[in-house]
Structure 1
Amino acid sequence: MSDVARLQQQFADIVTSDHRHGGQLGIEREAARLADEALQLQSSGAASQRVRASLYGSAASFRSSAMWAAIDGRRFNDAVAHMREAQALAEMSGDAAIKFRTWSHAGTMYRHMGRPTDAAAANTVARSTAVVRRDPMFASLGLARHGAIHAVAGDLAAAQRVFTQAREALARADAGEVRPVWLTAFYDEAEIHSLALSAYLSLGDWSKAEVHGHRCLSGLRPHMVRSRAITTARLARAQLEQREVETAVHTAMRIPADAAAGHPRVSAMLSGFGDRLSHLAPSSGPAAVWRRHATRAGRTSR
């Protein structure tokens, strides 16, 4: 179990790095390497069934983090490969929490790929795990992610319903219960607002998206650096679509240069923001300000 404890600390380090940087190939590769290391320990000497199950759980945790980094970095083919490994390892571990994480990540992956039917099927598997029945916090996360999936499918009523249920489930969660570090590191009311922001952007309800964007930013914990950049980019887009051009540009310019240039999702969002700004207000002062800012940021990143 000392090996397991060491791996668990390394997993916590991976989670911390992901929340700061996100989507980086280095995080993906390190998580995959640690998954392989956990599996290699299976073949070195005798071990109890408890230890073996824990090692499979550690391997599944690392592989699902590699999967998440690939999703966040828009490397979907790699994410699918990590997903298959993680799902098999989670089954061998017998750990319902890591099985939930793996299938819930799969749902998010398919949502980002624009495949809401597959996303809903994967997230339904996650929501059928025993840990969801035991712990309202897991139930809440499953519901909130399903809300974003409903939005991609264009189902406003279903999205609104499950977001309400997600908030109610989170309110029932016992704050004193011991939970996996990957869950407690990010899931709270701010994350529900983040997913609602994404959902209302998908549905084209820009004013509601903006409301959830502000609420998310006000509740994000300091270590959520990657999430703050993503939320700010989404908020800027919601403001731009309401023709709040100057406000939108000021919002987008708050994103740190390293996130704007170094995080694949943020870079893609800001590229889309710039294209949309050029379409809506090509000759405006704010558009000129944004072009100068984007040019400087690009030079800095090089």
Structure 2
Amino acid sequence: MSFWWGDDLLQFHNDAYLPMLGNRVDHSVGRPFREVWPDVWDAVYPFIQTALSGEGTWQENLPLVMKRHGYEEQTYWTFSYSPLYDDDGRVAGLLNTVTETTQAVADRKGLEEAYLDTQKHLDERARYEGELKLLNRELAHRMKNTLSMVQAIVSQSLRNASSVADASAIIAARIQTLAKAQDLLTGMSVTAAEITAITDAALAPHRDGADRIQLTGPSVYLSAQQALGLSLAVHELATNATKYGALSVPQGRVDITWSHQSGDDFTFDWRESQGPHVVEPTRRGFGSRLTERIVSDLFKGQAKIDFAPDGVAFSLVGKLHQMADLEH
């Protein structure tokens, strides 16, 4: 405690007040408040005025910058100023009951920061756990889709093959295409793959070094299901082109274009030119049905192979999965 008395508010204090004085301890008793505490005078003067007017004050954790040890330091104080009266009942001074709370405020701030840091880590952990669950659901979903596609490839390839050896080669090539598409999906994103990478991977076995296959289109990301379906369709088209179409002769060309319009509208076109004269087959195999029906279902649109005399053409008009579908 301390009290200030008289017109100059001369200071007096008890022993418990001494640590608060710092290097002022030897020259504070009996001196005016303003001389003892010049660094905080302006900050506490409003409370002094209130107490001198006869009204007590209370302040909790008031921040004050003071130089009690020869340097500026941020301190905090909880105190009350109470009016003191002389024998005539006139306010002649004030009593200061004070506790320094600098360390308590620092400790509380430290706890608050620790709490916020802990909460941040908990939020990050919850987010990671959510992402892990999402990954597990996506992997399970993709595994089911892939197994269904493999089952269809095997059963349909066996049904339409002329021999076991032929069926084995066809099945191996188709499953290898699926594997490459899966590798791209795993390497680039859990849920989506860029169309150029998917198309390039499916075409890789059929490129002969010549610049005969041209890809043109914007960067578009396909969902896992659509990427697998389109990869298989490109594989089937490229296999047929290598065996019978434009890629079976040196001068043949294949132009692949796609577009992504406003919203989720999507088109994909395959055009062969400068190849052998095309004759429409009398029997449609599984490859043609896969290219047309499965892909059209995956893209919720229409897909069609045209066996035009001057070159096979494939056209797909459909919808891309929304970004929300790629993320969940």
Q: TM-score, normalised by structure 2?
A: 0.24
Higher-Rg structure is 2
Tell me: higher relative CO, structure 1 or 2? Use CA pairs within 8 A at least 6 residues apart: 1
**Greater share of residues in helix:** 1
**Greater share of residues in strand:** 2
Q: TM-score, normalised by structure 1?
A: 0.25
